[in-house]
Structure 1
């Protein structure tokens, strides 16, 4: 027995280590699966967000096209008034054309304006109008003759005269107080001197109404504090 050989099994250590390495591999596999799941959810969320944004943008453009078409349909009932969809403006043509150096409108021009403005108010205050139309800017223009500052003042006077026409207290087709309040809240005045002049001087002396639209998810600002029917008198005579 003295010379008996002692056999040592060296595989014990390797066998003891096997469970650890198997567990580590499983852990890495689980982490990889978790990572893929998280990335999948994140990509899905981003895709959904982009899709919703694109959907809102498409609907927004559709609403703008729809209300422009409604304005165009209304304008067709009035000779000389047209809507330029590409520029998003209402062009009154001869219905709001001025003499050289003058800001006054004829009685007939004022009458036509007061006939058409209620159409604008009606479209602006329906569900579609409230959701998409922000405001309407009355833009006056002049021809290229005269100085820049003189023409700038003249263009502002022309815009102001159109607005004053809506608040007239005498003459045919007068607006009622409710319509005048809508005009006060919705219309703004702008002057552009001889910028964007037309091909000839006569066509340049004009007024247009530019439609401004709300952005996506933007809401129309509430009207200012109610000041009743104190509309005042036009300073232009």
Structure 2
């Protein structure tokens, strides 16, 4: 009987410890299940976020393609004017003489006929969601110094805005007050000196309208106060 006592003590000790190890095992299993559930939820959330971002990116690209296609359709009513990438190229119909920033009456009339159509599109909900600004880019040929041509190309861009904001007496193609206000808010001028040369010097003396769109997540600017008018006289014509 004395020899059996250690065995009994060991059995009682194992029975006392057994419930503790079962509870610890269950606890670890439960924690593992919670960890797996948390990871699954996190992965689903990340996947959903990526999917929504990709869908928004796709929608943006589709909307911009639609806007550009509508601009392309507009240019078909004006022979010689084309959409190249995101820029409206006026080709031969808006070229400048050497060392000149002046537009002919016909060239100014062309601008006042085409631009209101683009402004109407800019007020469309789809275009308005993404269209950020329209940059009037002036270009010069390679003759002359860089700074001289930069100034000349800027003057050519400014001349376009002068033509759009002018109200020629008796003219039926003058922009409405609404369109002129939109021009002031949406249009910017830019000059490229003799960068981005065309095949010939004559072709290089040109202007383009480049449409720029907001990036994904970029908010539209706050409503601007109404800009003052008084643009009847172009500063380029000042004595």
Mapping of residues 150-165 of structure 1, within 5 Å: 150-165=148-163
Q: What's 1:81 paired with?
A: 81
State the alpha-carbon separation in 1 of the partners of residues 172 and 141 from structure 2. 30
- Larger helix proportion, structure 1 or 2? 2
Shift in Å, 1:55 = 0.7
SS at match of 1:233: coil
SS at match of 2:132: strand
State the alpha-carbon separation in 2 of the partners of residues 228 and 192 from structure 1. 28
State the alpha-carbon separation in 1 of the partners of residues 149 and 12 from structure 2. 102
Shift in Å, 1:84 = 1.2
User: 1:5/1:199 Cα in 2 relative to 1: closer, same or farther (>3 Å)?
Assistant: closer
Shift in Å, 1:223 = 4.3
TM-score, structure 2 normalization: 0.93
Counterpart contact for 1:177–1:229, Cα < 8 Å: no
Shift in Å, 1:6 = 7.7
Moved more, 209-218 or 5-14: 5-14
SS at match of 1:236: helix
Counterpart contact for 1:80–1:95, Cα < 8 Å: yes
Aligned-residue CA RMSD (Å): 1.4
Q: Please, which runs of 5 or more residues in structure 1 have no aligned partner?
A: none
State the alpha-carbon separation in 1 of the partners of residues 109 and 4 from structure 2. 119
Q: What's 1:50 paired with?
A: 50
SS at match of 1:180: helix
State the alpha-carbon separation in 2 of the partners of residues 228 and 98 from structure 1. 30
Q: Please, which runs of 5 or more residues in structure 2 have no aligned partner?
A: none
Q: What's 1:71 paired with?
A: 71
Counterpart contact for 1:141–1:194, Cα < 8 Å: yes
Counterpart contact for 2:96–2:206, Cα < 8 Å: yes
1:138-157 deviations in Å (ceiling 9; x for gaps):
00000000111110110001
Partner of residue 133 from structure 1, selected from 111, 116, 131 = 131
State the alpha-carbon separation in 1 of the partners of residues 137 and 61 from structure 2. 24
Q: Does 2:13 match 1:17?
A: no
Shift in Å, 1:164 = 0.4
Shift in Å, 1:129 = 1.5
Counterpart contact for 1:142–1:193, Cα < 8 Å: yes
Q: What's 1:117 paired with?
A: 115
Shift in Å, 1:229 = 3.5
User: 1:157/1:123 Cα in 2 relative to 1: closer, same or farther (>3 Å)?
Assistant: same
Counterpart contact for 1:141–1:195, Cα < 8 Å: yes
State the alpha-carbon separation in 1 of the partners of residues 146 and 70 from structure 2. 36
User: 1:232/1:223 Cα in 2 relative to 1: closer, same or farther (>3 Å)?
Assistant: farther
SS at match of 1:173: coil
Shift in Å, 1:124 = 0.5
